[in-house]
Amino acid sequence: MSARKPIDAPKKSMTEKILLVEDDPMIGEAVVNALADAGKAADWARSGWEATGFLSENKYDAVLLDLGLPGKDGMSVLRELRAKDSETPVVILTARDGLDDRLAGLDAGADDYVVKPFHMSEVLARLRAIERRRQSAQAASKVLTNGTMTLNCETKTVRLHAPEGDKEVALSKREFDLMEALMTRPGAILSRTTLEERLYGDGDMPESNALEFIIHGLRKKLGANAIGNVRGLGWMVHKGRAAGR
């Protein structure tokens, strides 16, 4: 059979959009072409002022930033960007002898750098590394902790932290939903109404003691003190001291 098997679908279906800030026309054109070949869309700013304009109007997956630019330099662009946006990844494009530039750039919030003259495969590798870091940071942010226990939103489990060792406990759907609501804001008291809305939405009203039933089950699994009750007001998980143990 000559029919080709479909290749694996790319992890990210949306086109990545990159801002290139580079005043050298030859380097700029080479980078824009290489990005296009790699399936990435690019805007090309040829000066610092142009870069600021692009950044104020668009959201980019990454910025490739030359430091030596006419008029407003790359460091100013970077500092301005970081003053209002700490997330957009920035890779500095710097000269071989620009060690001070590299360090200053990293101090000012750049994520990485490549040294000129660079090969595009190196730039693309840095962009892939940034994407991997972004994905693992997202996965890590799906973990909620109050110091004494940690809720893993991916596995729907709670890890109990104790001096004698950690213990992992699996939760039912409703138990998880309740813990997620409480663990999102350790120390905050959530009312019956808030929790019931979280568990049941606006739809079918639960039996009057359904919430107590779930909390009773959670206390059996996690310990009597895992969920505190403030009479007449609601329930809470305590704010632990040492998060991330």
Pick from 16, 17, 23, 245: which binds Ca ion (CB under 5 A)?
A: 23
Q: Which amino acid, residue 145?
A: T
CB 73 to Ca ion: min, Å = 9
Q: Are 159 and 168 in contact (CB under 8 A)?
A: yes
Beta-strand runs (E) in 12-124: 17-21, 41-45, 62-66, 90-95, 112-116
Question: What minimum distance in Å lies between the beta carbon of 24 and Ca ion?
Answer: 5
Could you tell me the smallest distance in angstroms from the CB atom of residue 93 to Ca ion?
A: 8
As measured in angstroms, the least distance from the Cβ of 66 to Ca ion is 4
The residues, any chain, with a CB within 8 Å of residue 90's CB and separated by 6 or more, are 62, 63, 65, 78, 81, 105, 109, 110, 111
Measured from the CB atom, the residue of 114 and 179 that comes closer to Ca ion is 114
Report the distance separating Cα 91 and Cα 123, nearest Å: 8
Question: Could you tell me how many residues of this chain bind Ca ion (CB under 5 A)?
Answer: 3
From the list 34-42, 61-69, 178-186, 195-203, the region that binds Ca ion by CB under 5 A is 61-69
Q: Which is nearer to Ca ion, 18 or 65 (CB)?
A: 65
Q: Which is nearer to Ca ion, 75 or 149 (CB)?
A: 75
Nearer Cβ to Ca ion (68/109): 68
Which region, judged by CB under 5 A, interacts with Ca ion, from 15-23, 88-96, 99-107, 134-142? 15-23
Dihedral in degrees, nearest 10, Cα atoms 78, 80, 85, 88: -20
Q: Contacts with Ca ion in 68-127 (CB under 5 A)?
A: 68
Cβ pair 77, 51 in contact under 8 A? yes
Are 66 and 79 within 8 A, CB to CB?
no
- Nearest distance in Å: CB 30, Ca ion: 14
Report the residue number, 113 or 235, with the smaller CB distance to Ca ion: 113
What is the nearest approach in angstroms of Ca ion to the Cβ of residue 104?
16
Q: Does 30 bind Ca ion (CB under 5 A)?
A: no
CB atoms within 10 A of CB 5: 6
The smaller minimum CB distance to Ca ion, of residues 68 and 147, is found at: 68
> Smallest gap, in angstroms, from Cβ of residue 120 to Ca ion?
17
Q: Are 22 and 30 in contact (CB under 8 A)?
A: no
Burial 195-220 (b: 16+ CB within 10 A, else e): beebbeeeeeeeeeeebeebbeebee
Q: Which of 43, 50, 61, 66 contacts Ca ion by CB under 5 A?
A: 66
In the complex with Ca ion, the residue whose CB is nearer, 74 or 234, is 74
Residues of the shown chain interacting with Ca ion in the complex, contacts defined by CB under 5 A:
23, 66, 68
